[in-house]
Amino acid sequence: MSNYSVLFLDIDGTILKADHTIEDSTKEAIKQIKQQGIEIFLATGRPLHEVYHIAEELDVRSFIGYNGAYASYRKEIIYNRPMNPKIVNHYIEICAKHDHEMVLYTTSQNLFTEIHTDVVQQFIHYFDLKENASYDPKYNDQILGITLMNLKENEPKLYETDAPIFFSQVNVHGLTHSYDVIQDQVNKGNTIRHVLDLLKLSPEQAIAFGDGLNDKQMLQVVGTSFAMENAHPDLFSYAKYRTTSVDDNGIYNGLKTLGLIK
């Protein structure tokens, strides 16, 4: 019997391919893992209202969203940490000053500073976002995550504040001008620690797969971690193992090396 009790899976570039489909091998791997009683969490930078259809397809009921700012375990909210409204307002001012774009995520909407630009429409199309609306400052105390768009390589530093912030470049061809904003102490890794404590599990009982720099803390805190072949090059040093790409049965092959699936 397996010593593993929980599996954390990133979505974009890990479960989902660029065309928004899921390999049959990934579905089969998840099915076999569930049959062993191993709990599965989708652990994503996405807002959770944009992933429930994926969860339904995979029959997964536990989530870490917004790069760790919100988590639920079988319909019970177990973590909820919105951003400081003052920082949100500060970011809005910088965004307008430098002709950037921004999407701010609440529990139910994706709020865009300008929804009709080519950059924003490309972002919406790639991630197949549905619940889109224009930004309204009345939501400033409900913002769980932010993605900055249309930035040059050296421009994330414009958004640095006294509060430590980590900027994770979106690991998607054509969208590398986009950066997820991750709060200090609010990331997938720290939320996984919270989940493990809640479930009374050790890191050695946990597995994680990821491909982006927003996955690095997640890969560090679990006992067994995999970086996808298509991962950001800087991510490999944070993972214990390297598996094949999202287009080449990466999750299936990784779990197979552990002897968890046939």
pLDDT for 184 equals 77
Mean pLDDT, range 109-121, rounded to an integer: 95
One-letter amino acid of 104: L
pLDDT for 71 equals 97
CA distance 239 to 225: 5
What's the CATH number of domain 6-81+186-257, 3.10.310.30, 3.40.50.1000, 1.10.260.40, 3.40.50.150? 3.40.50.1000
For residue 17, pLDDT beyond 90: yes
pLDDT for 80 equals 95
For residue 1, pLDDT beyond 70: no
Mean pLDDT, range 81-99, rounded to an integer: 95
For residue 2, pLDDT beyond 90: no
Instruction: Report if pTM > 0.85.
Output: yes
* Per-residue model confidence as pLDDT tens digits over 188-233: 999 999 999 999 999 999 999 999 999 999 999 999 999 999 999 9
Burial class (CB in 10 A: 0-12, 13-18, 19+), 105: buried
User: How high does pLDDT run on average in the chain?
Assistant: 95
Using alpha carbons only, what angle is made at residue 231 by residues 50 and 88, rounded to the nearest 5 degrees?
45
Can you tell me whether residue 256 is helix, strand or coil? Answer: helix
Rounded to a whole number, what is the largest CA-CA distance in the chain? 58
Alpha helices in 100-201 (DSSP H): 118-127, 188-199
DSSP 8-state secondary structure symbol assigned to residue 84: P
pLDDT for 171 equals 80
Domain ranges in the chain are: 6-81+186-257, 85-183
pLDDT for 219 equals 98
CB 111 within 8 A of CB 124: no
At residue 150, φ and ψ (nearest 5 deg) are 70, 35
- For the domain covering 85-183, report its CATH number: 3.30.1240.10
* Per-residue model confidence as pLDDT tens digits over 19-68: 999 999 999 999 999 999 999 999 999 999 999 999 999 999 999 999 99
Alpha helices in 98-161 (DSSP H): 118-127
Contacts of residue 76, Cβ cutoff 8 Å, sequence gap at least 6: none
Contacts of residue 107, Cβ cutoff 8 Å, sequence gap at least 6: 47, 48, 49, 70, 142, 144
CA distance 140 to 245: 38
Residue 13, sorted as left (phi over 0), alpha (psi -120 to 50) or beta, turns out to be: left
pLDDT for 178 equals 94
CA distance 14 to 246: 5
